[in-house]
Structure 1
C-alpha cells in the first residue's frame, strides 16, 4: 500500500468508496478527447430552446410543478454535497498551503475527495441545460442571462477541465455553493411555499460576489502564470476574464432591474 504524506488531504478527509475508486486520470483523458462535444450540446440546446418557444406559442402552458420540484431538489442535493466535499478540500489547502497554493495547485483535479466532485461538476453542466425546458414549457420569460450563462459555463468548464487549469478549485467550489442556495430556493418555490423576498436578494447577491471573486482569481492566475508557477494559458485566462466580467455585468444589471429599480418605483409610487 502506498504511503501518503501528511499533507495529503486523504489523510485528513474521509474518502467514500466511490470517491476512492474513481479514475481521475481516466476522466481527464476522456475529456481531452471529447471536450468538443460540449459544442454539440450547446448548438442543440440553443436550437431546442428557441424552437421550443416557437412550438409553444400557440399552445397552453404546462404546469409541471411536481417534475420541477423533483428536478430542483435533485440539483440542490447534488450541489450541497458537492459544496461540502470540494469546500472541505479547499479549506484543507488554504490552511495547509495558503491562498496562493489554493489557486495554483492542480491537486484539486487528481487528489482524494475533490477529484470525483471536479468531474461530477463538469459533467453536470450538460444536464443542467434542462433548467430551460421548464421555462419554455411553462411559457415563462426567458432571460438572455439564463441561456447565455448555461452555454458559456458548459463550454468553459469542459474546455478547462481537460488542462487542469489553475483556479478551478475556486471556480467549482463557489459554483457548487451558490447552486446549493439557488436550487434549494427553486425547489421550495416550485412546491408552492412562500419564500421571503430577502432570500431571492441574498441569492442574487451571492451570484454577484461569486462573479467578482471569479474575476479576482482569474487576475491572480494571470499574474502568477507570468511568474511561472500557476499552470494555465493566456487564452484560457482571457476567456475566463471575459466570461466572469460579462456575468458580473449581467447579474448586477439583473439585481438593479429586479430589486433596486422596483423598490425605488414602489417607494415613489411609480408604475413599471
Structure 2
C-alpha cells in the first residue's frame, strides 16, 4: 500500500500534474532521490532540524549579512580597484533567472489544479491548500533568498554605492519567507509566484546588462516591482481581514470563512510589503521622474560594470532595485 501523505489534497503522495519531462515536480523528485536517496514526498519542514529553520539561525544570517555590507564597504575602501568578477556575476544572474522560472512553474503545477477544482479563495485561504508538495517549493524559494545575498557581495566587491532599499529588502525578505514557512500562510503561494515572475524578468535583465548588452527596459522592471507590491498588499490585507473578521467578538462583515496562517506572519507581511511599496515608489520618483526630467519611459541603455563605481550626477539613472 502506498504511503499516505497527510498534506496532499488527494490523500496520496501523488503531486505530479504535468507530463514528466515538463513537470517541475517530477524533476524535483529526481533531485531528491539523487541527493538523499528518498522521494520528495518523504521530506518535511521541521523547525529546529531542517537546515536554516531556526529563528536564531535567521537572526544570525541577517546580522552576518549586514556585517558583510558595512564591513565589506570599509574593507573595499582600502582596495585600489573594484573587483568585478564579471563571469561570476553573469553566472549568478543567469542561475537566478532559471531557478526563479523553475520555481514559478512548480507553484503553477500545484496551484492551478487546486484553483480549477476548489476555487481561488480556497488556494489563498483554505487550510488544506498548504500541502507537502507546496511546502517543498516554499522552502526552496526561501533558500533562494539566502542565495540572493550574493547580489550584495558582488556589489560590495565592485565598490558600488548601496541604497538603503537594497540591503533592507534583501535581509528582511529572507525573514518574511521564513515566517511564511513557520506560519503556513496559504496566500503566500501567489505572493511568491508574482515575485518569481518579476525575478525571471529582473535577473534576465541583469544577465543581459552584465554581458554588456544595451537594455532599454529597466524602468519597466521597477514598474513591475511596484505593481507586484500593490497586488501583494491587496491580497494580504484581504486575507488578514478575513481571518480577523471570522474570529472577531464583535460581528464584522465577512465572507464567513477563515484564512490559514498565523497572525504574526500576516502582520509582518503586511507591514513589510507596505514599506517596500513606499520605498520603491520613492525610488521610482527619485530615479525616473526627478532625476530624468524630459525623458520617456524606457529606452535608456545601462552600462552594468560602470554603474555606481563613482558618485553619479543627478541626471544619471540608478539601476532598478533588486526586489524580493
The normalised TM-score by structure 2 is 0.74
Question: Which segment is superposed worse, 158-167 or 137-146?
Answer: 158-167
Deviation at 1:35, TM superposition (A): 3.9
Partner residue, 1:10? 15
Map 1:160-199; keep pairs closer than 5 Å.
Answer: 160-196=180-216, 199=217
Partner residue, 1:238? 267
Change (3 A) 1:188 1:107: farther
Deviation at 1:17, TM superposition (A): 5.2
Distance 2:66 2:127 in 1: 33
Distance 2:41 2:163 in 1: 38
Change (3 A) 1:176 1:24: farther
From 222, 232, 237, the counterpart of 1:204: 222
Q: Look up the SS of the partner of 1:16 in the other structure.
A: helix
Deviation at 1:97, TM superposition (A): 1.9
Q: Do residues 93 (structure 1) and 114 (structure 2) align?
A: yes
Compute the RMSD of aligned alpha carbons.
2.7
Deviation at 1:88, TM superposition (A): 3.1
Distance 1:84 1:256 in 2: 33
The normalised TM-score by structure 1 is 0.87
Describe the superposition over 1:192-241 as per-residue Cα deviations: whole angstroms up to 9, x where unpaired.
Answer: 11112xx2122111111111111111111112213252122332222111
Question: Which segment is superposed worse, 257-266 or 73-82?
Answer: 257-266
Change (3 A) 1:266 1:214: closer
Distance 1:163 1:244 in 2: 17
Deviation at 1:139, TM superposition (A): 1.0
Q: Look up the SS of the partner of 2:261 in the other structure.
A: coil
Is this contact kept in 1: 2:28–2:40, CA < 8 A?
yes
Deviation at 1:33, TM superposition (A): 5.6
Q: Look up the SS of the partner of 2:109 in the other structure.
A: helix
Which has the higher Rg, Structure 1 or Structure 2?
2
Deviation at 1:179, TM superposition (A): 0.9
Partner residue, 2:35? none
Distance 2:87 2:16 in 1: 42
Count of residue correspondences: 267
Deviation at 1:80, TM superposition (A): 0.9
Is this contact kept in 1: 2:129–2:186, CA < 8 A?
no
Partner residue, 2:258? 229
Gaps of 5+ in 2: 31-38, 247-256, 297-313, 316-324
Deviation at 1:177, TM superposition (A): 1.1
